[in-house]
Structure 1
């Protein structure tokens, strides 16, 4: 009774201990996941701050331009970094400033022209065909240079003082525009005078970035172009500045109003069906069967089926299988012995004719119930004879049933 009482008393404490271990394990897993998320966010923020976008004046990565901004500051140029249109307009309001702008696909033509008109000089550091069409009327993109150093080959003072560079994108100039750095059928720099200033187009990715600034005359050209005025406004356009009207309808606008409720209804129905027909989770529960069937009743049922089907051959096979299994164990042959090996071993041990034993155990096919009964009798007689040879003390005389 004391052992039972101790086991009963220990069971709740063991259950609490196991529950405490499970809770601790899940808490540790959750803490690790939270820590990994925080670390990923921190690393992502650091990478975003150091790398940012291409030609970003605050980026220290290979494609950023922080080195150029530092050099301009050392030359007395005040660099204003603007990331929205309002900041650009405020910085250009006093006048006499240079505007460096990358491609601005989010701005409409009117907005881009209005913004650049407020600057004295405009340097397009990543121009596309639309920007060239608007600000350097008649000019267009032409391709990419062959990647070799090229001399200015023009009368632009800033280019001549800088010397050779390796242009990236090249352009086709309009009539009246000054074209420098001829290569590959195009030019690496375009300049066109306008009222109160000028517009310059150059591929800043190949000249202004931190990775390439120290090569050839890149640094000198960048400082000469961007440092003509005491103030440089560096504008990085973003999608928040867009003034383009939505012209195409969205997918939600094209969808009939009844589609969304139907989708929600289908999802709800699928979830309900999954819960209804899904597997029930939880520990297995032992359930008592309503009926216990004894092995003897199963055997008798099979015998009645064989008798009803009048399948004497099948019944004989079952009798022989049972006898062969018992003889194999009795003669020490093991479960891997074949029927022929068991028959030969039984004939040798009992002294019976080998052909007769094989006929009893393998070859003879009963055709009627009488032959099946006779075969059963001979099987039992053979098994009893083998047992008498192997274990003579354990053999009991067979009782005749009425």
Structure 2
């Protein structure tokens, strides 16, 4: 009897069925087409209305907190999203408040402002500043500012951190700033007082509690018994605008179907003739380069070039990383943070180590040697001053 040995199992890789690759590529193509279509729709959509400083907005950019503070102080706050209703609600003891009325024409804004004797703009554009004769935006910036003007209601506010500054026109009072720019402009003409401030951050719910922001809001809006707060909306716009022609309007009707057909043809060709990737295969590299050889090579190049600043920068970078690790700081700690933490550990005044860890680099070999010695001494001092571990107690 002849025994037939079993053939050994095949070692060839079993590839997945081709239909899986076809389905996968089809899904990717559909996803790409869907993303492109959504992107075109978003690009063709008109910009949405801003909700910044909405007196009924509860999010970070809204101004509900300021409106509620005014109501707690006995001020009647009435919110309108129609300019005709807002105009009808204005009387002699009313402050008209609004953000930049970008949805109104110059004529529509003038009609709204006509019965008002006290107007406060919580934000403004360059056109509004010019049209109202208030001034223009300034290029300067301030970290903090106090009133520094003769407006009585600003006397007890303290300091604020303004976002954007204005340059006042002739005859316009500027407050909370200096000669290069001010955060608040106050103009009085024919019994009408107009105030403008960029309060996008000052009066929003997220920033109202900081510095003197709430006090400034009360000083601007709390001087009358009633506040008529008009919120500009696209639905209340009187600006006549024509819809811009799209690319589809400018091309013949057959272009869009032809483009879609070409895209589908390209996807089909990619699925049909595209390369099928097999399983990953590990490959042994012909040469192994140790990290130490790379380090020594860079060191020899630096020494040959006599580049002391480059070598000093490498020494400082390594020392900073080791100091940050020894001081328990984050890997991305700044030079000032490392220097201050090391000063605190060594109980020396802050600012002593800033020059060593962040100052000018040495330019010659002698200075480089001294620089390296000082860094080593600092690392040793920090290491030796480390508190004892709890396990040693």
TM-score, normalised to structure 1, is 0.49
- Tell me which structure has the larger Cα radius of gyration: 1
Query: Which structure has more helix as a fraction of its residues?
Result: 1
